[in-house]
Structure 1
Amino acid sequence: MRIASSAHRFFSFQNPPHFLSIAKPSLLPSLHRGIQFKKTNSTLHYKFLGFSHRLRAMSTTTENPTSLPTVQVRDSIDLTDKERRIFDRLLEVLRHFSLQTQLRVAGGWVRDKLLGRDCYDIDIAIDNMLGKEFCEKVNEYLSSKGEEAHGIGVIQCNPDQSKHLETARMRLYDIWIDVVNLRCEDYSENSRIPTMRFGTAEEDAYRRDLTINSLFYNINTSSVEDFTGRGIADLKSGKIVTPLPPKETFLDDPLRVLRALRFGARFGFTLDAELKKAASDDDVKAAIADKISRERVGHEIDLMVSGSQPITAISYISDLSLFWVVFSLPPEIDPPTYQEFESPDRSCVAYMDAAWNLMHLIGCSTFNDEQRRLGLYTTLFLPLRSSTYKDNKSKEVPVVNYIFRNSLKLKASNAETVIRVHNATEEFVSLIPLILSDNEDIKIAEVDWGRGVLDVPVASKLRIKAGLLLRKIKDFWRVALLASVLLYPTNIDDTKEASAEQFKLEKRSQTFKRVENAILELGLEKTWERKPLVDGKDIKSVLQLKDGPLVGEWQKKVVQWQLAYPSGTSEECFDWMRQTHSKRARVE
């Protein structure tokens, strides 16, 4: 990755994908085969789906800081009109009550404004009262001026989950502001939970996660304050460093590990060597697993995956041996099952890397934000798609379901979508050669059309199969196609180096576009939104049936008939139903 010197800073896409080529193509290998890993030097060899693959081991070793261009940092902060109005109003509150309070905007807002970026996340630190008390003063002032007071929300501290500060929140000029007191933390010898007290701005700055986030903008004096003496320098040189020794900082709040990696990826900054060492320390790993809530972990991971550099961020997690700490596995799974593999996490990252590059080759506009986000999760967990465990009811449950719901505490619907797409890949991979085939006389005996598919011409069978698949995954069919294209064999020369790597994804992007165009030409886009010509009531009336499973079978057949005959009418469907039912009755 290279960083462009610009106030707003732009980033290049990832390097040509660290992906694989397939030596022996086959129509449809079993998609439930296991993964075996063997690492030699810088190349990771593995067998997947019965093929030989070669993956150049991903390297996210940070570059030599001297090779990085200086980041352009502004000398002062330019306020927007709304920011100026908010800050002026807060200063009016100080004057009205003769408060000797220093108001400082902390952290990310200061960093982003110095980089010339817009930021609407205003966190204000105050030195001599609690945030709730100050917000109440703001409302008291507004009332005295005949203006409407605003609601105040309070987020309580939770030391057990490394949330040490009570935060007050209110809205001014349609912007949410958070208000907290400056803090200093005193630790006893036998506890990692600190005793909180009001601190100085300098003490608070040193308790921050990163030096680039330890800067303050003093509203009273309209000036930037750098109490660690490193914040601006590290921002200009593009370094991710903690104000205090990194292990101490991470044990204080282990979530800071993930924040450091996220900011490093987001800005393309260099991770400090001591920071990386501390991040992979066993004590810190244990603290990540035990001390912070899974909701907070999931939120950070989601910000990474939704961000501009998801592969870099997740690669850092893998490189620092944090992958299975973050994406923790069910306790029912015996760890040696995973330890027998050399680097299964690298395989996960490699698929995600390939998907990210493939998305850009295809065109990012092909996927909306949610499809892009869940598409990256889908491919990240592709190697785990067939792994299951038994829940407390002895039911086989996908491991991916556990990761989403328990390890990351993300929405259940996210897990359901990814698992649904995973389940669709096997069927999609089987369809790709049929859709791409120029031979209209495909031998039916060689194709598993599935049980119960109507006896219609091959072209209609193909439309039925594709249509039924799209009805299962709906708006995420392109995500399923993307994942399937990564699994689908391609006849690529495996003897070439870097240029061939890019050519392989070019080939896969062509496959994606050909299949996508074929599906669109078949008129299957939004096919799941098409209402059945015949409903259950019609079926019972026409065929003289009573309620029961047979009605459900006919409803499925009607969907297939509509897919086979997209221009068919309800009357034609009724005629077909009567004829088919009559033949069936004669046979029985």
Structure 2
Amino acid sequence: MIPIVHCCLRHVKEVYVWNFLFCSNPDQSKHLETARMRLFDVWIDFVNLRSEHYSENSRIPTMEFGTAKEDAYRRDLTINSLFYNINTSSVEDFTGRGVTDLKYGRIVTPLLPLETFLDDPLRVLRAIRFGARFGFVLDEKLKEAAASDKVKAAIADKISRERIGHEIDLMISGNQPLKAMNYVCDLQLFWVVFSLPDKYKPALVEGCDRVCTAFIDAGWKLLQQIGLSTLNDEERRLYLYGVLFLPLRKTVYYDSKGKKFPIVNHIFRNSLKLKASDAEMVMNLHKTFERFISLIHCLESTEDIKLAEGYLGETLDVPVGSRRRILAGLLIRDIKSFWKVALMMSTLLYPSDHDQIKDFPVRHFELDKRKELFCSVENMIIELGLENVWEMKPLANGKDIMNILQLKSGGPQVKEWQQRLLEWQLAHPSGTAEECLDWMKQTYSKRAKLG
């Protein structure tokens, strides 16, 4: 008999073979003798049926050969404990409730949930992920055990942060990220999963975990309103992390060398052990989204205001429409292909008093108006020809600038003029390199006379 196990039995991903012996793989946190092969387009894992015994301080079990029934009862959930007998072409349900729980959409552990979770606390996060993914209901005893102090401590002590980060990333990337984060919050696991450093400031508001889930609630619904296809998978994933951690964006901590970092950096790098580039992008989104709020105001305004103030070194003598183009172009060049992500985050809060995050959950969100605003600004950016502005090549290079300034080597002056020439180029999208350099010569000459 070759029992085949997988949730819902729709996609075979694990095949368990009696007395099929291979090499153990401790690098994958499992002292199991396994093998892997590709069958058509599906990777299949082979491992013997087993029973397991757990030590007090580890989620890595001592493995022994076992029967199919023993193997079924050591699994995380009843819906993951079903076997398929290829000889009789039938499903075998050794726990006696796997098929029923699958039929009625219940997330239940084969053994007592507290015992199951203390043996391997990662099963708590898997229960949450499967429950969210399939829209199943978590068993009440399971929820009680998952929220217990013993299980919280076991998650912190027995599971590597890489494993926690992997499970959370699957939730965020899945089809029901909001439901998954609500489960994490409801089970009082938010700060267990997204652990914080010992010292940080300012202090978080009471119920900040609920505020975070309120943000991802609004952000997820806004994305659905606008259209999931607006962002690709990676943009969507980091957008959801970005809105989830918006309430934490002004909280900082200090490393061992006394250097200050946003607390979001700690969560990505230490609590979840995700890629450094993920942390950098989310922190960059948090830095730029308020600039996008200013950009939205500028693009919508008909007043001749100092649009570039605070962002440009020196405002060019150009019409207000050109200054809007400069401001938008510089901002989009900073964030590159993630400009729609930053715009969506800004749309979510514009023009509300977004600093008063404690009031966020009770504020009424008019998502139709938010969607309309996003589409309006997106269309303006496209009409300005800025949707791929970071790919724009400068009309003049450093050598050209050094020739005009009569410099033998680069330095701050060259960098300053590179910025000014970029502003000129954004203000004059049809301008040529010759016109750009002529403008620089005239402007530099005037400044030299005044100096």
TM tier, shorter chain?
over 0.9
> 1:106 touches 1:217 (CA, 8 Å); kept in 2?
yes
CA distance in 2, matches of 1:577, 1:250: 68
Change (3 A) 1:452 1:330: farther
Secondary structure of the 1:444 match is coil
Task: Please name the residue that 2:235 is paired with.
Answer: 371
Task: Please name the residue that 1:156 is paired with.
Answer: 26
CA distance in 1, matches of 2:414, 2:188: 54
Change (3 A) 1:258 1:249: same
Letter in 1 for 2:219: A
Query: Quick one: which of 379, 391, 394 aligns to 1:517?
Result: 379
Change (3 A) 1:513 1:232: same
What TM-score, normalized by structure 1, do the two folds share? 0.71
Query: Quick one: which of 272, 289, 293 aligns to 1:429?
Result: 293
Letter in 2 for 1:304: M
1:431-457 CA distances to partner (integer Å, 9 max, x unpaired)?
2111112x2x42339965544343433
> 2:3 touches 2:15 (CA, 8 Å); kept in 1?
yes
CA distance in 2, matches of 1:380, 1:581: 47
Secondary structure of the 1:124 match is strand
- The 10-residue stretch of structure 1 (546-555 or 121-130) with the greater mean CA deviation from structure 2: 121-130
- Check if 1:127 corresponds to 2:18: yes
1:184-236 CA distances to partner (integer Å, 9 max, x unpaired)?
12357898764321011101101100000000112343321100000001111
The 5-angstrom pairing of residues 428-507 of structure 1 reads 428-437=292-301, 439=302, 441-444=303-306, 448=310, 450-489=312-351, 501=364, 504-507=366-369
Secondary structure of the 1:184 match is strand
User: Unmatched 5+ residue regions in structure 2?
Assistant: 354-362
CA distance in 2, matches of 1:126, 1:465: 63
- Check if 1:106 corresponds to 2:5: yes
Shift of 1:429: 1.0
The 5-angstrom pairing of residues 43-192 of structure 1 reads 102-108=1-7, 111-113=8-10, 119=11, 121-132=12-23, 155-156=25-26, 163-187=30-54
The 5-angstrom pairing of residues 25-424 of structure 1 reads 102-108=1-7, 111-113=8-10, 119=11, 121-132=12-23, 155-156=25-26, 163-187=30-54, 194-333=61-200, 337-338=203-204, 341-424=205-288
Secondary structure of the 2:188 match is coil
Secondary structure of the 1:534 match is coil
Secondary structure of the 1:165 match is strand
Secondary structure of the 2:3 match is strand
Change (3 A) 1:457 1:545: farther
- Number of aligned residue pairs: 442
> 2:58 touches 2:158 (CA, 8 Å); kept in 1?
no
User: Unmatched 5+ residue regions in structure 1?
Assistant: 1-101, 114-118, 133-153, 492-499
CA distance in 2, matches of 1:126, 1:157: 21
CA distance in 1, matches of 2:39, 2:57: 43
RMSD: 2.3
- Check if 1:549 corresponds to 2:416: no
Shift of 1:296: 1.2
- Check if 1:562 corresponds to 2:428: no
1:72-114 CA distances to partner (integer Å, 9 max, x unpaired)?
xxxxxxxxxxxxxxxxxxxxxxxxxxxxxx3211233xx232x
CA distance in 1, matches of 2:211, 2:6: 36
Change (3 A) 1:466 1:532: same
Shift of 1:164: 4.8
Secondary structure of the 2:182 match is helix
- Check if 1:540 corresponds to 2:402: yes
Change (3 A) 1:401 1:356: same
Stretches (4+) displaced over 4 A: 187-194, 445-450
1:457-503 CA distances to partner (integer Å, 9 max, x unpaired)?
32222111111100010111010011111221259xxxxxxxx946x
1:122-166 CA distances to partner (integer Å, 9 max, x unpaired)?
21112334344xxxxxxxxxxxxxxxxxxxxx63267xx6x3534
> 1:171 touches 1:177 (CA, 8 Å); kept in 2?
yes
CA distance in 1, matches of 2:80, 2:364: 38
Secondary structure of the 1:443 match is coil
CA distance in 1, matches of 2:60, 2:340: 48
Change (3 A) 1:307 1:197: same
> 1:247 touches 1:275 (CA, 8 Å); kept in 2?
yes
Change (3 A) 1:301 1:192: closer
Letter in 2 for 1:112: L
> 1:279 touches 1:285 (CA, 8 Å); kept in 2?
yes
CA distance in 2, matches of 1:506, 1:544: 56
Letter in 2 for 1:103: I
Shift of 1:521: 1.3
- The 10-residue stretch of structure 1 (419-428 or 212-221) with the greater mean CA deviation from structure 2: 212-221
CA distance in 1, matches of 2:32, 2:249: 40
CA distance in 2, matches of 1:188, 1:387: 38
CA distance in 2, matches of 1:287, 1:167: 27
CA distance in 2, matches of 1:189, 1:155: 21
Shift of 1:245: 0.5
CA distance in 1, matches of 2:290, 2:161: 32
Letter in 1 for 2:347: V
Secondary structure of the 2:203 match is helix
> 2:16 touches 2:49 (CA, 8 Å); kept in 1?
yes
Secondary structure of the 2:196 match is coil
Task: Please name the residue that 1:527 is paired with.
Answer: 389
Secondary structure of the 1:337 match is coil
Change (3 A) 1:186 1:362: closer
> 2:49 touches 2:71 (CA, 8 Å); kept in 1?
yes
Shift of 1:268: 0.9
Secondary structure of the 2:390 match is helix
Secondary structure of the 1:178 match is strand
Change (3 A) 1:404 1:464: same
- The 10-residue stretch of structure 1 (250-259 or 444-453) with the greater mean CA deviation from structure 2: 444-453
Shift of 1:567: 0.8
> 1:103 touches 1:125 (CA, 8 Å); kept in 2?
yes
Shift of 1:537: 1.1
CA distance in 1, matches of 2:82, 2:291: 53
